Chain A
Amino acid sequence: QKEVEQDPGPLSVPEGAIVSLNCTYSNSAFQYFMWYRQYSRKGPELLMYTYSSGNKEDGRFTAQVDKSSKYISLFIRDSQPSDSATYLCATGTTDSWGKFQFGAGTQVVVTP
């Protein structure tokens, strides 16, 4: 079983809709949670970084962490065609020494 599970999609939404992405993880020791955006044939770009449970908002992006359910989410409001990309979640612990666990990524397509 993978430590981080993520639906591969593709997830297709019309422009302006809310995009809802999620990951589940198995290790309750995970404390750090990240979302990366990756355009085709490019390197991942860090979008959101959260520590422990709770919500974090940055512009159109909101990240949620529910440690009791081992569930992390990313919401994109007012989606744009430029949001079409693959979104990767990642987690780690304080003693993981940089060894994050990555999900396989969810492909998002925002149609005009």
Chain B
Amino acid sequence: DGGITQSPKYLFRKEGQNVTLSCEQNLNHDAMYWYRQDPGQGLRLIYYSQIVNDFQKGDIAEGYSVSREKKESFPLTVTSAQKNPTAFYLCASSISLAGGNEQFFGPGTRLTVL
């Protein structure tokens, strides 16, 4: 079955720690995205990547970092510089960044800072 997997499903972090969220896709999509979802707000774009070894900042990149070493993988690191990291994090992919391509989402990771 083709799809997007995210792990872990739930993640707890102490203040001052960096954590890495995993995202893997087997859809052979070139483009991948990370979003943050907070109650009462729309999805906000953190980072996106058009191709391996290339990625761009989205609207709320501060305190986050990513890498794209393989086509199928796009991990997100939430650093200690992110002041309010508790949220639901969603990874998505699409065939390409070209306008209009549908984005498909993974199941999400809920991060809680203790």
Contacts and interface: CB of A to CB of B under 8 A. Distances in A.
A61 interface: no
A47 B100 CA distance: 15
A49 B102 contact: yes
A90 B92 CA distance: 14
A97 B56 CA distance: 11
Nearest to B3: A43
B99 A94 contact: yes
Interface residues of A, number: 32
Contacts of B108: 41-43
Nearest to B38: A104
Contacts of B94: 98
Contacts of A58: none
B85 interface: no
A80 interface: no
Contacts of A93: 99
Given A99-B48, A99-B58, A104 B40 contact: yes
A37 B98 CA distance: 23
A79 B45 CA distance: 32
Contact of A32 (B33, B40, B99): B99
Interface in A79-112: 88, 90, 92-105
Contacts of A45: 105
Given A45-B105, A88-B43, A98 B33 contact: yes
Nearest to B9: A41
Contact of B48 (A94, A98, A103): A98
A42 B105 CA distance: 9
Interface of B: 4, 6, 31, 33, 40-43, 45, 48, 50, 58, 88, 90, 94, 96-108, 110
